[in-house]
Chains A and B, each alone.
Chain A
Amino acid sequence: MTPLRRRGAALAAALLSTALVLTACGGAGTEDPAGASAETRTVQAGNGAVKVPVAPQRVATLGNTTLPFIDLGGKPVGVTAESDSDVALLSPDEQSRYKSATILAPSADQVDMEKLAGLKPDLILVQIPEPEFESIKAQLTVIAPTVFFGLDTEWKALADGVAQAGNITGALSEQKAAFEQRRAAVQAKYRGIIDRTSFVDVIRYSSSDPGTFAIADIGCSEIARDEVGMKFPKAAEGADPLAWTALPFEQIGELSKYDVITYPVDAAGRPTEPFKPVVETNTWKALPEVSSGHALGVFCPGNNSYGSVIRYLESLDRALATLPATG
């Protein structure tokens, strides 16, 4: 390439970059694409104080923020894909709002920035691993104000943050009240069982190795432990969650040291597809908890928004009601 051509190429690249940045900036608010108020307010997030529109109209949700946002009544313009099984658990109205959004990527680390900028969002909500966020932070913040939540953000704080940033706090208040009522009701109704019973929650993922299961100390049993006060095993401080350790099926027999076993079922009460291989084993069938009615299928539609947690508590309530009286 000649020096003249090289300079020409550099100039073209610079012009192209400037045009892209200007386009993105326009989407960020200078053109006010959705007619949102130009007024801003400041919210505190994992990436510090962020100025967001007072009433954002075009919200894109990446990673774990999609389902909480929809649960609060939000209608995102762009989302990262949720699994088919998670989408199937949403109500028809929620499914409709999810399906009306543009899918930006199969996962958050592959977000199509051009597609995202083209949606002209006025707010981006993100919950993904911090290193992944750091790698795309500059691109996101050029497109629109970006509110980031770390993975260690507790589910209630996430709901608060999503609601506040997205200006949908009305639904949040109602959900909080319903959650408190349900939690208190379960605690009061099963106080005796909760106090004297050791529980264990078992799980399998669709990605689990053949012939393995895990003890879940994250997910919905975390809600039962931390919010209801039920005694579930938990990994030692600083150790990896028990749910990350794949246990061979021959260890199913070890579950007999607990009083009650909970396991995942779908909305109709059938063992979830990944968990079916466990209930089909002879070892499971031979467990005293299973034969005595102390193995309870519990439906867990999610554990990071009030709506899904309330549905879990309702299922837990129904399951505990089936325990034999002497339990």
Chain B
Amino acid sequence: MTALALRRDGPGTVGVVPGPRRRVLGLVVALVALAVLLVLSVMIGSTAIAPSVVWDALVHSSAGIDQFAIRDYRLPRTIVGLAVGVALGLSGALILALTRNPLADPGILGVHAGASFAVTVAVGLLGVSDVHGYLWFAFAGALIVTLMVLAIGSTRQGSSPVVMVLAGVCVGAVLGGAREALQQTNPAAFDAMRSWNAGSTAGRSLDVVWPVLPFFAVALVLAVAVSGSLNAMALGDEMAVAQGVALARTRVLAIVAITLLAGGATAIAGPIAFVGLMVPHVARWIVGPHQRWIFAYSAVLGPVLLLTSDILGRLVIRPGEIPVGVVTAFVGAPVLIVLARRKKASGL
């Protein structure tokens, strides 16, 4: 029988924390689900292609039209979905742990606003016209704005999560207005950005993933490194300090990891909402407040949600498609509401 332990879910809320075996079992189930979705993502598309042809495309270098469709579109799209999903899920978990705000997601630190503003400038003023050109602008915009938010959110007493979130919301609002103004003066820029703004994995080749992967790897290492400190900080800053946690260093490293993950994901696929908000809540409901487990589950459940949404988007209005960012909102919002009503809001 698996060991169970009492946990505090928040003020006045007591829940049951699954033991290590159940956590591992749950993670294995989530990994299996992810593996199935990876296969389905390659199998399913707007064109019906037989499983034998899919297999042939993956294991042989045959040059048929359908084989190209698998190798050139579905496989890269699946890998993009995997990478973006992991990054968004993990960055959401980090930001939830850092801010202890149940409504926080990567966008709240100005990541989306910074990336979108930079892409608008690139398209509207510099004439950049495709997603490969956006990539570095989006990444740089996300990095710069998040560093700005970090600087603004630093008070004399150190970095305050509340001030940081407020700074993120304010900077996001200012940049959102500036972006809107730029787009109004240049409607062509708005057209060119429409798909990226909706959040989509369609049409992204692996060329846009490879350059970002090293940043994801660095962020992953940072996330693992700060997970213990974030655990201690969940009990309150004073308790964390008493346990020897360097608060400022932990927050800076966590912000750097969040920015690399969310900035990279946004650069690749555009601002995809809800994955970073929903996934860590679900992970926390499953595994309790232990950050390493939340991070591990979020890194698996992020691509599960993203790939599921992407597959649905390909099927609903065939032969056309709905961008994955639209589907994550449609799927994620009601599911989160249902789960929140059943589980109550996450105590943080």
Interface residues of A (CB under 8 A from B): 83, 106-107, 206-207, 209-212, 245-254, 256, 281-283, 286-287
Contact = CB atoms under 8 A, between A and B. Distances in A.
Nearest to A286: B65
Nearest to A247: B319
A207 B191 contact: yes
Contact of A211 (B63, B66, B186, B204): B204
A210 B65 contact: no
Contact of B45 (A206, A250, A281): A250
Contacts of B45: 248, 250
Interface of B: 45-47, 63-66, 68-69, 71-74, 129-131, 185-188, 191-192, 194-195, 200, 202-204, 314, 319-321, 323
Given A253-B47, A286-B64, A246 B320 contact: yes
Nearest to A211: B203
Chain B CB within 10 A, most for which of A107, A254, A281, A283: A283
B202 A206 contact: no
A250 B130 CA distance: 19
Given A248-B45, A248-B46, A250-B46, A210 B68 contact: no
A253 B57 CA distance: 15
A256 B46 contact: no
Most B Cβ at <10 Å: residue of A106, A206, A210:
A210
B202 A207 contact: no
B68 A283 contact: yes
Nearest to A281: B72
B200 A286 contact: no
Contacts of B46: 247-248, 250-251
B341 to A, nearest CB: 36
Given A211-B73, A283-B69, A286-B65, 7 more contacts: A207-B188, A209-B200, A210-B203, A250-B46, A253-B68, A253-B69, A283-B68
B191 A251 contact: no
Contacts of B192: 206-207
A209 B131 CA distance: 10
A107 B45 CA distance: 38
A195 B129 CA distance: 41
Q: Which of A210, A247, A250, A253 has the most CB of B within 10 A?
A: A250
B65 A283 contact: yes
Contacts of B319: 245, 247-248, 251
A282 B68 contact: yes
A-B CB proximity, top 9 nearest: A211-B203, A210-B203, A207-B191, A209-B195, A253-B65, A250-B69, A282-B68, A250-B73, A283-B68
A75 B126 CA distance: 33
Task: From A248, A252, A282, A287, name the one whose CB has the most chain B CB atoms within 10 angstroms.
Answer: A248
Contacts of B66: 253
Given A245-B320, A286-B68, A106 B203 contact: no
Nearest to A282: B68
A207 B286 CA distance: 43
B152 to A, nearest CB: 34
B65 A209 contact: no
A248 B321 contact: yes
Contacts of A249: 69, 72-73, 203
B41 to A, nearest CB: 13
Nearest to A208: B195
Residue of B74, B131, B203, B323 with most partner-chain A CB within 10 A: B203
A286 B45 CA distance: 19
Contacts of A212: 202-203
A179 to B, nearest CB: 32
Contacts of B186: 106
A282 B72 contact: yes
A251 B74 CA distance: 12
